[in-house]
Amino acid sequence: MPELPEVETIMQGLKSAFTGQKISFAQPYRPDLRWPFPLNLKEIMENQTIISFHRRAKYILMRLSNQWTMILHLGMSGRLIISSSTEKTPRDKHEHFVFITENGQRAGLVDPRRFGAIDLIPTPHETQHHLLSHLGVEPLTESFSSKFFYAHLQKRKAPIKNTLLDQRIVVGLGNIYVCEALFRSHIHPARPSHSLTSNEVKTLVSQCKSLLKTAINSGGSTLRDYVNVNGEKGDFQNLHLVYGREGEGCPNCGESFKISRIIQAGRSTFFCQNCQK
């Protein structure tokens, strides 16, 4: 699943290509993805100017001149590809939604597994949408501080990895970046959340922010399906120290200690049993 850096990269690509452009055509090619497409999608989107793009957690928000916002989630395997509407290449059989602007730019949502989602909501009511209303703080803002996070950990017995993935507290970190941040902070992923010291939390928050910024600058991580809006892969997977490296030597401890993998809340966790305490 695309995580925060990948979604941010896609959002920035859309922002650069489409801000200020007028939508001449919008069309879903099936009745639903994870949920049904809005029945009035064409009516609301066509002939409207795209005012701005924003990211909230792993959602992309496209605001229109008629005070409506399109909310997009890429699901597990979704890709949003920009092309020219004059290209003669056949439409991908997994392309389930497209919009075209008056300057001939085309954005197509390709989603083979159909876990993605598109919805519309009046812009003034964005934060009340059921997909957005429960979300916690953004990790790259000042709201995600060590003081804030430490306070949220005090009564939590859940493993620290699970807490980092709790979207009600902090959004968008994702499995890859949580594994990497915990490794770089020397914190065992199964540690009870309330057991972390204030200094450990300070280090962990700092590592989360640093990792996300570096990953965004690297265009995200491509493990399977992810590409940016130009069809290009990310590079940050080349900087993973533990994620997907089960059985390899620990970058900190050497070949004597191998990267381990356990399952937490149904997801793979990669870590070093020696240097993460």
Is residue 125 part of an annotated ligand binding site? no
Place of tokens 């065992």: 188
Catalytic residue among 3, 6, 180, 200: 3
Mean pLDDT of 177-195: 98
Is residue 261 part of an annotated ligand binding site? no
Mean pLDDT of 208-228: 94
| pLDDT computed for residue 225 by the predictor | 79
Taking Cα atoms as reference points, which of 134, 74, 142 lies closest to residue 110? 74
- The CATH fold assigned to 4-128 is N-terminal domain of MutM-like DNA repair proteins (3.20.190)
Is residue 79 part of an annotated ligand binding site? no
Catalytic residue among 55, 56, 58, 245: 58
Catalytic residue among 2, 139, 159, 189: 2
- Band (pLDDT 50/70/90 cuts) for residue 16 is very high
- State yes or no: is 267 an active-site residue: yes
Residues 107/14, Cβ–Cβ less than 8 Å: yes
Inform me whether the pLDDT recorded for 89 exceeds 80.
no
- State yes or no: is 3 an active-site residue: yes
Q: What residue spans define the domains of the chain?
A: 4-128, 146-272
115-146 pLDDT, tens digit per residue, is 999 999 999 999 999 999 999 999 999 999 99
Place of tokens 């009046």: 122
Would the pTM of this model clear 0.85, i.e. be above it? yes
Inform me whether the pLDDT recorded for 88 exceeds 80.
no
On the question of a common fold for 4-128 and 146-272, the answer reads: no
Backbone torsions φ then ψ of 186, nearest 5 degrees: 60, 35
Mean pLDDT of 56-70: 99
- State yes or no: is 2 an active-site residue: yes
Q: Is 66 helix (H, G, I), strand (E, B) or coil?
A: coil
| Architecture label for domain 146-272 | Orthogonal Bundle (1.10)
Mean pLDDT of 181-185: 99
Cα(174)–Cα(240) distance, integer angstroms: 14
Cα(276)–Cα(232) distance, integer angstroms: 34
What is the residue-averaged pLDDT of the chain? 96
Cα(42)–Cα(118) distance, integer angstroms: 13
- Band (pLDDT 50/70/90 cuts) for residue 111 is very high
